Structure 1
Amino acid sequence: MNSTMQVLVIGGTGTLGRQIAKNAIDAGHKVRCMVRKPKAASFLQEWGCELTRGNLLNKEDIEYALDGIDAVIDAATSRPDDPRSVYETDWDGKLNLFNACEEKNVKRVVFLSLLAAEKYREIPLMDIKYCTEELLVSSSLDYTILQGVAFMQGAIGQFAIPILNNEPVWISGNPTDIAYMNTQDIARFAVAALDRPQTIKGRFPIVGPKAWSAKGLVDLCEKFSEKRARVLKVSPTIISIAQSVVSFFEPTLNVAERLSFSELSGSGGKLDAPMEDTYTAFGLNPADTTTMEGYIKEYYGVILKRLKDIGVDLDIEEKKKFPI
């Protein structure tokens, strides 16, 4: 593998994609990002990325973006507010992208998938991720598939902010334990794959150090915020309905917010996997991975200091809903 590569990042404006682009730049690679709205992606240009306008549903856009590219990292996933069907946005787009890679002889591809997608094929997004994995396996591409779970950023929206604002935390009556991972750590794996031939033709779980229950996360937030949580346990169906009118998952792309939330996050199982072989294959040190304890502690430390600096007293009733 070349030490410096020309890398095309798909989904570069997303929560994870922007971390991948930044990590690839910091690693010395030349990065191009295909984006639908270049004006909204100016921060990527400021980091040193080249921007090209494009949409995965337009084959000509993809072919243009692939010119001179050595490797592709695909972190694109349809957004909750996308008016198109996920089968159009994700599946048709992936077909266009990977067919174009084969035609343009861009062999190296890193694909961000979801853990246990094969077990939840009744959920459209999971079905698409599984089918895309199988598409890559049957292709001539030198793929690496990263099977993630949920972003730590999602725990902030679901647990940390409501507790800080004295708002209720909604959880399923039978919640799934989830091994959340920081997007910065997921990005390290995606970029490290480019220089690790042993990851080619492989599927790897990419999960955090520990699977957290909803109660464990509530306890953690209470500890570092020094506030008591108001927990509402409701049926998965009610949570699913509430998603259409409440935006408590909106800023993230974690599994809990994705389609058919009730079937996955309310299954009562565990989304986790052993990571020893993954760390070895990617040449990364487990000790460098963010822990949920450290993440929540740092979040509250920064937020509470900021509020104190501007003179906001969170114990005052009328300021309970101070916007974070």
Structure 2
Amino acid sequence: MRITVFGATGGIGGHVVRQALDAGHKVTAVVRTSSTFEVEHPSLDVVRVPGLDAEEPLREAMDGSTAVISAVGARGRKDGPVASSSTRSILAAMKASGVRRFVAVSAAPLGPVPPDESFLNRRVVYPMINAFAADVYADLRLMEAEIMSSGLDWRIVRPPKLNNKRLTGHYRTFVGGTVPKGYLVSRADVAHLMLAVIDDPATVGQPVGVAY
């Protein structure tokens, strides 16, 4: 299949591009004009756009695609509402192009706290995380609301704290909820799951928790 990847220069998006190519897919990587992107492959097309805040420039990247994966998100608390504004444009371009399958990355704190989660996490850790990154999570909530009301065949992957360790392909998932006592997962494994759910009918219209 052909997969269009947004956020291809980021940690998760870069893994999505490379893993998709390794799996034999054709990939269109959407990158900003000002960004450095050095991946080369016979099955890779690179579309450069000035930004992700307008629908029309994104349509070219959707041509012939089966699915769209977005790893777009703020890299820090000062980046502003990156995820919601970009996703709004991506969704509009998908509708105009007739592409229905969409996978986006969000964050575990947006999901429900598992009932068997530890007292420390429920009462101390999670509230501290939400307070520390309040603006980032507010942006992600807006993004998720846009996706859930889009009418597309969407999936939202919600990882906890990320690291840069290697791909394992072994992790826990929770369709419709949050992985209990799940504290870490690598960016490579998040990318692996994002590719895996594209063809999984059980995940359509669902958030999917992931963690080790």
* Range into which the TM-score falls when normalised by the shorter chain: 0.7 to 0.9
Query: 2-side partners of 1:136 and 1:59: how far apart?
Result: 15
Counterpart contact for 2:55–2:92, Cα < 8 Å? no
Alignment correspondent of 1:147: 158
Alignment correspondent of 1:53: 48
| 2:152 maps to amino acid | L
The answer to whether residue 140 in structure 2 is matched with residue 129 in structure 1 is: yes
| 1:262-306 deviation digits (Å, cap 9, x = unpaired) | xxxxxxxxxxxxxxxxxxxxxxxxxxxxxxxxxxxxxxxxxxxxx
- Aligned-pair identity (%): 24
Q: Specify whether residues 92 and 41 from structure 1 end up closer, same or farther in structure 2 by C-alpha distance, changes over 3 A only.
A: same
Counterpart contact for 1:107–1:142, Cα < 8 Å? yes
Equivalent in 21, 24, 44 of residue 25 of structure 1: 21
Shift of 1:79: 2.9
Shift of 1:63: 1.4
Q: Which has the larger radius of gyration?
A: 1
Shift of 1:46: 4.0
Alignment correspondent of 1:63: 59
The answer to whether residue 91 in structure 2 is matched with residue 98 in structure 1 is: yes
Alignment correspondent of 2:195: 191
| 1:183-234 deviation digits (Å, cap 9, x = unpaired) | 1211110111122122111111011x2xxxxxxxxxxxxxxxxxxxxxxxxx
Root-mean-square deviation (CA, aligned residues, Å) is: 2.4
Alignment correspondent of 2:108: 115
Equivalent in 181, 199, 211 of residue 185 of structure 2: 181
Shift of 1:90: 2.5
Of Structure 1 and Structure 2, the greater strand share is in 2
Shift of 1:39: 6.7
Shift of 1:60: 2.1
Query: 2-side partners of 1:80 and 1:39: how far apart?
Result: 17
Shift of 1:128: 1.5
Alignment correspondent of 2:80: 86
Task: Kindly report which structure 2 residues correspond to 1:245-260, keeping only aligned pairs within 5 A, or say none.
Answer: none
The answer to whether residue 4 in structure 2 is matched with residue 8 in structure 1 is: yes
Of Structure 1 and Structure 2, the greater helix share is in 1
Task: Kindly report which structure 2 residues correspond to 1:225-236, keeping only aligned pairs within 5 A, or say none.
Answer: none
Question: Which ranges of structure 2 fall in alignment gaps of 5 or more residues?
Answer: 112-126, 166-180
Higher relative contact order, structure no. (Cα contacts within 8 Å, ≥ 6 residues apart): 2
Q: Specify whether residues 23 and 133 from structure 1 end up closer, same or farther in structure 2 by C-alpha distance, changes over 3 A only.
A: same
Moved more, 58-67 or 185-194: 58-67
Counterpart contact for 2:9–2:35, Cα < 8 Å? no
Query: 2-side partners of 1:138 and 1:59: how far apart?
Result: 17
Query: 1-side partners of 2:194 and 2:53: how far apart?
Result: 24
Shift of 1:30: 0.6
Q: Equivalent residue of 1:77, what SS?
A: coil
The answer to whether residue 52 in structure 2 is matched with residue 41 in structure 1 is: no
Query: 2-side partners of 1:188 and 1:34: how far apart?
Result: 19
Task: Kindly report which structure 2 residues correspond to 1:194-205, keeping only aligned pairs within 5 A, or say none.
Answer: 194-205=198-209
Alignment correspondent of 2:124: none
Query: 1-side partners of 2:42 and 2:106: how far apart?
Result: 26
Q: Specify whether residues 38 and 143 from structure 1 end up closer, same or farther in structure 2 by C-alpha distance, changes over 3 A only.
A: same
Shift of 1:113: 0.6
Counterpart contact for 1:53–1:61, Cα < 8 Å? no
TM-score by length of 2: 0.75
Q: Equivalent residue of 2:36, what SS?
A: helix
TM-score by length of 1: 0.51
Query: 2-side partners of 1:182 and 1:47: how far apart?
Result: 27
Shift of 1:103: 2.3
Query: 2-side partners of 1:178 and 1:70: how far apart?
Result: 31
